């Protein structure tokens, strides 16, 4: 499958679709997942048109990894989570639903099940509040 420049993450990067930004640098953007599997679920994407891990320029993969490493502790602190799940899916068969490479950072708690992936939109006011909580914890 060829990269689709009209996927929702490409539109977010171009400013054509709204998002609740948490962090941005010259190679990456992080924002709230609008269909979160748990409160505080964020996505980290490269500013590079890559459908999957197999298409991503290595410098951008390094940048995505560094941003993920920087933001995961902020999410953990903001939501007082004992654990953090980091996931990256490649291909529909693996569960990828938006075909622009992205990392999921999801707070995890014992005894709390995650919601199903990409099923239900969250309240946008709540996402805005969650984004501010995480931004306050970025060091």
**CATH number among 3.30.70.100, 3.30.428.10, 2.40.50.140, 3.50.50.100, domain 8-137:** 3.30.428.10
Given a cut of 90, whether residue 96 has pLDDT beyond it is yes
pTM to 2 decimal places: 0.94
Q: What was the pLDDT predicted at 67?
A: 98
- Per-residue pLDDT tens digits for 12-45: 999 999 999 999 999 999 999 999 999 999 999 9
CB 32 within 8 A of CB 131: yes
Q: Catalytic positions, please?
A: 102
| Domain range list for the chain | 8-137
Given a cut of 80, whether residue 118 has pLDDT beyond it is no
CA gap 117, 38 in Å, rounded: 10
Share of the chain above pLDDT 70, in %: 99
């Amino acid at each position: 499958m060829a990269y689709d420049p009209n996927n929702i993450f490409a539109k977010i990067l171009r400013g054509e679709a709204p998002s609740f930004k948490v962090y941005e640098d010259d190679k990456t953007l992080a924002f709230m997942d609008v269909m979160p599997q748990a409160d505080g679920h964020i996505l980290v994407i490269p500013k590079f048109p890559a459908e999957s891990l197999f298409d991503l320029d290595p410098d951008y993969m390094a940048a995505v990894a560094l941003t993920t490493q920087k933001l995961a502790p902020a999410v953990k602190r903001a939501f007082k989570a004992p654990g953090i799940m980091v996931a990256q899916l490649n291909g529909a068969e693996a569960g990828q639903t938006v075909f622009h490479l992205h990392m999921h950072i999801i707070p995890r708690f014992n005894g709390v099940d995650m919601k199903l992936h990409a099923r239900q939109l969250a309240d946008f006011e709540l996402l805005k509040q969650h984004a501010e909580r995480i931004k306050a914890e970025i060091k």
